[in-house]
Amino acid sequence: MKNIKLIVGDLDGTLVIKHNDASRRTRDVILECKKRGIYFGIASGRQTDELNLYKRWGLDEDFDLIVGLNGCQLKDNLLDVEKEYFVMEGKYIKEAIDVMRPFKHNPIMYVGNIFLTGEVNELVEKSLAHSDKKLVVAKDETDFYKNDNYKIMFRVKEEEMPSIEKYIKSLNLKNIKAFKTQPDLIEFSKIDVDKAITISKFCEMHNIDVKDVMTFGDTTNDNGMLKWAGVGVCMANGSDDTKAIADYICDDVRNDGLAKFIEENVF
């Protein structure tokens, strides 16, 4: 771990408690990475336009790497370039809706500046409180798949999530993949979407070997990058499937687990 050249952390549940800013300790670790010549990035299910957090966190410079929409967006601040991958065709968005029909759910989707939802409820309003997007209620389900997009999300009852995951796994889907990103949120994207693939493209552009990459995550959409990286670390508050594939498990996000692990093992 003494030769780590790139550290990438998931955001909610990993770098920060959801809807909170980074702690002072975490910000100090990010700044220390910069001083030591270690690149630092974030990889989230949010869009990159929602991840311009460095000024709010009191950092002088932006993150070196920002991965949005679970790997569909790449913002390379070293080269000042942005790239997009894994666009999901409308027919596959409809397939995701068909998969979810047996379960009570509320579909939601980012459409540019719009937050498209099947219905307005407390969870949707809570999400919008931390976003500058315009809320639009779909006229019917065709609004979700009339155009291509990167992903579609479904709010579900937390207690039903295990049944939903088990059902989806039994389908052996060929075109789309699903992953839990919160206890009550499941997302569908193209079958090949993965944060790891997008981070690897950054590494190729900057001649970084995978063995010198450390990644942190807390749930299913982080599994790919934890398994791929030279060092993959899951938070103590993480889901069981993510803990199972991680090389290490660090302290809880509420105890600055990511910062503590970097201090003790990299610095």
What pLDDT, in 10s, does the model give residues 149-201? 999 999 999 999 999 999 999 999 999 999 888 889 999 999 999 999 999 99
In a domain, 59, yes or no: yes
Would residue 159 count as lying in a domain? yes
pLDDT at 101 (0 to 100): 96
Q: How confident is the model at residue 72 (pLDDT cuts 50, 70, 90)?
A: very high
* 172 lies in some domain: yes
- 1 is a domain residue: no
Residue 28 has pLDDT above 90, yes or no: yes
For 180, the token pair is: 């839990």
The last residue of a domain, from among 190, 218, 247:
190
User: Which of 231, 224, 234 has its CA nearest to residue 258?
Assistant: 234
Q: Do 119 and 166 reside in the same domain of the chain?
A: yes
Greatest mean pLDDT range, 20-29, 49-58, 119-128 = 20-29
Dihedral, 41, 194, 176, 219 alpha carbons, nearest 10: -70
> What's the predicted TM-score (pTM) here?
0.86
Report the C-alpha dihedral over residues 158, 19, 73, 110, rounded to 10 degrees. Answer: 60
User: Residue 127 pLDDT > 80, yes or no?
Assistant: no
Same domain, 81 and 200: yes
My answer on whether 215 and 248 are in the same domain is yes
**What is the domain count for the chain?**
2
Q: State the average pLDDT over residues 16-35.
A: 94
- Whether residue 49 sits in one domain with residue 181: no
- Residue 111, domain CATH: 3.30.1240.10
What's the distance, CA 265 to chain centroid? Answer: 24
Are 109 and 233 in a shared domain?
no
144 and 116 part of one domain: yes
Q: Is 156 contained in some domain? A: yes
Q: Which residue range is the domain that position 170 belongs to?
A: 90-190
Same domain, 26 and 105: no
Inside any domain, residue 138: yes
Q: Are residues 72 and 161 in the same domain?
A: no
Tell me, yes or no, whether 206 lies in a domain: yes
- Specify the pLDDT at position 237: 97
In Å, how far are 62, 73, 93 from 150, measured between CA atoms?
24, 9, 9
Taking 80 as the threshold, does the pLDDT of residue 128 lie above it?
Answer: no
Q: Which residues lie closer than 8 Å to 63 by C-beta, 6 or more apart?
A: 30, 40, 41, 42, 51, 54, 77
CA dist 17 → 11, 14, 51, 55 (Å): 8, 7, 15, 18
Q: Between the CA of residue 264 and those of 1, 6, 45, 231, 267, what are the distances in Å?
A: 10, 16, 28, 14, 6
166 and 223 assigned to the same domain: no
- Does 35 share its domain with 20? yes
Work out the pLDDT band at 86, boundaries 50, 70, 90: very high
pLDDT score of 126 more than 90: no
Confidence of residue 77 (pLDDT cuts 50, 70, 90): very high
- CATH code, 44: 3.40.50.1000
Edge-first strand listing for the sheet containing 248-250: 81-84, 73-76, 65-68, 39-43, 6-9, 213-217, 231-235, 248-250
Kindly tell me the sign of the dihedral angle through the C-alpha atoms of 245, 51, 37, 23: negative
Last residue of a domain, one of 190, 216, 249: 190
Residue 105 lies in a domain: yes
Question: What's the pLDDT at 49?
Answer: 87
The pLDDT, as a whole number, for residue 175 is 96
Tell me how far apart the alpha carbons of residues 230 and 4 are, in angstroms, rounded to a whole number: 9
The pLDDT score that the predictor gives to residue 8 is 98
Answer yes or no: do 170 and 233 share one domain: no
Residue after which a domain boundary falls, among 170, 190, 210: 190
Can you say how many angstroms the Cα of residue 181 is from the centroid of all Cα atoms in its chain? 7
Write down the pLDDT at residue 265: 97
Q: Residue 159: which residues within 8 A CB-CB, separation 6 or more? A: none
Q: Of all helices (H) and strands (E), which one includes residue 60?
A: none
161 and 200 belong to one structural domain? no
